[in-house]
Structure 1
Amino acid sequence: MRCLLWRLHRGQLLWTAIVLAVGCAVMALVAQSADRWLAHYEHWQAQLGKAGCPLPSDGGSFVRAPPPACQALLSRYSSGKQESFVHAYNFAIPAFEEGLPLLVVVIGVLVGAPLVAREVEQRTQLVAWTQSVSRRRWYATKTSILAACLAFAGLVAGLANDRVQIPLTRGGLTSSRWIWFFSIDLAPAAEAVLAFALAVTIGAYLRRTLAAIGAALIGFLALFLLTGWIVRSLTPVSRATGPRGTPDNSWGIGGGQYHPAGQYWPLQLIYVAILLLLAAALLAAGWRATRPRNIV
């Protein structure tokens, strides 16, 4: 069964591995580039101090006018640290913070949608489900192994993306890693598995691969928004007191309420658990759709 699984899905798995490798390589290069940018900026500040030049504020303004001898040095980052850094790396938000979850979801849908739907379209289920391998084993083996592969791919991508967000957050592109909550660490792995399970189930009921792909993408968006709202709004929160507002590195949700920095991992685990439970329920529903009386 495993040899058959490899022969049938090796193209999908190889393309997933290639896309993952290229994406991780790009993220590693961007992370190293941002690290070098910040190191150069710190070196530039040290040069200003040695030359006796005034240090600019973050906005690039000066308390007193710089002497002519400092003009050449000061021209490197005339807009200040944050604005100069954002100008250099503002592409990272659509590429990584938004693009990575979309990528793993699309991969999960493309792998999952044909799993049952293509068998029914081509009528090959009449052979696949009447051999020595039972229909239950066929379904369980395929879904479990492919889901595990997608989870591993999503985990690697999420950890690589976490490496990217560290220098980008230090440089001021985003205020904290909470902005990246749904695109780093464990989240992409669970999102890939949910997208896969949703596509498998919808494909089993619709019995059309292309229709299943479109419906799964729309359905995932709805589930993503719902689970994100649950994690953000329905889990325990803290309330800001005094004039300082919400603390640094917290996840503000409005009305003076926020999730403190220490809740990051508990909330990630809650989010992942919700997505995996939904995926398990969807795969169980997809199994019911493969019963002989449901497919003719």
Structure 2
Amino acid sequence: MSADVLERTAARPRSGRSLAAGLATMVGSAASNQVGAAVGAHAFGVIGPAGVVAVRQFVAAAVLLPVARPNLRRFTWAQWWPTLLLGLVFATMNLSLYTAVDRIGLGLAVTLEFLGPLAVALAGSRTRLDLACAVGAGAGVYVLVLPGGSSDWFGIGSGLLAAVCWAAYILLNRMLGARLPGLQAPAAATTVSALMYLPVVVALVLRGSWSWTAVAFAVGAGVLSSVVPYACDLVALRTVPPQFFGVVMSVHPVFAALAGLVLLGEVLAAHEWTGIAVVVAVNVVAVVAHRARSL
């Protein structure tokens, strides 16, 4: 969600009932996002994580372009270069996340990715509380992963790369929110990302490495993980203060673990649930503390 949308929605009056409805919508958005990731995982065996990401990017572009209608011919270089970088971030973030999901499971992958926005929230802070949050996040990840000789380091590394990309997404989106109106930046960046995955689609078609069932799963991932969250977050942010957005985002690892359990049969060990709980709690504390200091 672009920074200008957050700022505009922050100024609007909110009733208790509309706030509750907005929060419920955001929780539904998070659930849809993680269910979509689990649905997409069912296509990994046929078209692989790259194929699922390709289809998801085309679905997202097909929705965002008609809504935002960016005039690409009038983009200046100051608008284009962060847009191109954001497109690269989209392409890398989704592929690294789905690669991690394929290797280490949905709950662990999303929790590692979640370190990205947490790092942005803690970056540049010098307070003892934020230092404690950073240490707590590290401890939570250690408990979650319990690194050893049998650890899938490539999968863990893919999840951490997704976290770096998510942090970059936040920073680039803030920059583009001041340079492009509305949703033009994510629409243009999603289009760039979709074009980057065009060779993947061509290769899958030429090799015959696809099936309509796998494509349907990938389209479902695009709808549930891109279209539905986009619409829900846009509606919810009209009534929910921006600071709550970060707090509600904390449910993503929990929903990812539940979606993995129900839809993929991924049973987490006790230490993994403990690690997820620690990372989620640290994020809530960091967001609330940051908001309190800014008032």
- The answer to whether TM tops 0.5 is no
TM superposition score normalised by structure 2: 0.32
Look at both structures and tell me which one has the larger radius of gyration over its CA atoms: 1
Q: Which structure carries more relative contact order (alpha carbon 8 Å, separation 6+)? A: 2
More helix as a share of residues: 2
